[in-house]
Structure 1
Amino acid sequence: MATGHTDPRRRERILAAALELIAEEGVAGVSHRKVATRADVPLGSTTYHFTGMDDLLRQAFTRFADHIVAVFERYLGRAETHDQAREAVTDLIHALSEGPRRDLVLAQELYTLAARHPEYRSLTGEWMRRSRRLLERHFDPETARQLDALIEGLTLHRALDDVPHDRALTRRAVDRVTAG
């Protein structure tokens, strides 16, 4: 699928390829050469569009965070009542934990980088603020913060547990956190 240097989608293909590689090999396994090969672009394209590997990783993870916030929006955006919002959070937890394994791996890779590097902490901080703002449409700020942590934790536990808990247990947890 190699195309000329005026390919307007080249940058997007590079970001998508970087995320695919991170999901498969982890951040440590990503190189300009591997990304270029995966994106089917000349090696120089990765340094033309990004100032270095760190810039490429930050922009790829920003794209991933945007994707997850869009998933939050898709579920929470249709809730009109408090009970519908609780149901939406329950649905969201199950969608995230049963969804693509890729998203779970990418989130963990980003959290690991954020634990070590301030520039990634600011990226995850912005992601959490955006998620909480969506939750705050339905819940007070303190509850939204607790729900955000519950979503992260239950998503991870459900995805990695040999026998993930059922929807009723998730809903009870959401109800406890959101009880007046």
Structure 2
Amino acid sequence: MSTDVRDRVLAAALHIIGTEGIPGVTNRRIAAKAGVSLGSITYHFPTQTDLLRAALSGFVAQETQRLADLANEYRDKGLSLVDAAALTEKVAKDLTFSAEEIAPFELYVHAGRDHELRQAAEECFAAYEELTVTILTALGVPNAATIAPTIVATITGLQLRRLATGSGGDHDISASVLLLLNSSVQAPPG
């Protein structure tokens, strides 16, 4: 039961962050949205930073698992770099930017202001980079660990652009990832 309450609190927090931003996160709003008592929130998360860190880490754990499952599905299908770039774009465009998918962007920006949240943001980006290295290595891309942070930053930036403008162009992600991958394959080891 305790895990269920904790999960409901985190889900409610992500929803509120995605719809109202970090300033909208109050224990009363979370309790109402999650259908839990006020005391259960502070029982599981003594500070707002603890709550925000757990929400960010939980989202990325779920997202990383989803992407890892997708990567495993395509691992033995002999994807080319072009196929991988197209798949990346498809995955990115499949995001609907629900409140829960907007919330991590809010949390990343907030981490820039709150040093206590930065560790969670670092862990999140490290998880995305680790997954990217796994995929790139499976594709036979040399220097996968070197190019992974750039690919993650590019995809994140293009997603943020898409979120902010409502569009990102037809081939922005695919073309950008392919450009980076081709540059990595052609570049001499650094």
TM-score scaled by length of structure 2: 0.79
Gaps of 5+ in 2: 186-190
Question: Could you tell me how far apart the structure 2 residues matched to 1:42 and 1:83 are?
Answer: 49
Given the superposition, is the C-alpha separation of residues 104 and 19 from structure 1 closer, same or farther in structure 2, using an over 3 Å criterion?
A: closer
Which amino acid counterpart does residue 175 of structure 1 have in structure 2?
L
Given the superposition, is the C-alpha separation of residues 41 and 178 from structure 1 closer, same or farther in structure 2, using an over 3 Å criterion?
A: same
Deviations 1:113-137 (CA, angstroms, capped at 9, x unpaired): 1111222221111111111111112
What is the CA distance between 1:85 and its match in structure 2? Answer: 5.7
Match of 2:27 among 9, 29, 32: 32
Please name the residue that 2:12 is paired with: 17
Which amino acid counterpart does residue 75 of structure 1 have in structure 2?
L
Please name the residue that 2:176 is paired with: 173
Question: Could you tell me how far apart the structure 2 residues matched to 1:176 and 1:62 are?
Answer: 30
* Paired residues of 2:56 and 2:121 also in contact (CA < 8 A): no
> Which stretch shifts more, 15-24 or 155-164?
155-164
Which amino acid counterpart does residue 161 of structure 1 have in structure 2?
T
Counterparts of 1:20-169 in structure 2 under 5 Å?
A: 20-80=15-75, 83-84=79-80, 87-101=83-97, 102-137=99-134, 138=136, 139=141, 140-167=144-171, 169=172
Question: Could you tell me how far apart the structure 1 residues matched to 2:57 and 2:167 are?
Answer: 32
Deviations 1:14-66 (CA, angstroms, capped at 9, x unpaired): 11111111111111111111111111111111112221222112111211121
SS at match of 1:77: helix
What is the CA distance between 1:157 and its match in structure 2? Answer: 2.3
- Structure number with greater CO (CA < 8 Å, separation at least 6) is 2
Question: Could you tell me how far apart the structure 1 residues matched to 2:86 and 2:41 are?
Answer: 40
> Which stretch shifts more, 126-135 or 84-93?
84-93
Which amino acid counterpart does residue 115 of structure 1 have in structure 2?
G
SS at match of 1:152: helix
What is the aligned length? 174
Percent sequence identity over aligned pairs: 28
What is the CA distance between 1:10 and its match in structure 2? Answer: 1.2
Question: Could you tell me how far apart the structure 1 residues matched to 2:149 and 2:2 are?
Answer: 42
Given the superposition, is the C-alpha separation of residues 89 and 32 from structure 1 closer, same or farther in structure 2, using an over 3 Å criterion?
A: farther
Question: Could you tell me how far apart the structure 2 residues matched to 1:115 and 1:8 are?
Answer: 29
Q: Please, what is the CA RMSD of the aligned residues?
A: 2.3
TM-score scaled by length of structure 1: 0.83
What is the CA distance between 1:83 and its match in structure 2? Answer: 4.1
Question: Could you tell me how far apart the structure 1 residues matched to 2:42 and 2:173 are?
Answer: 45
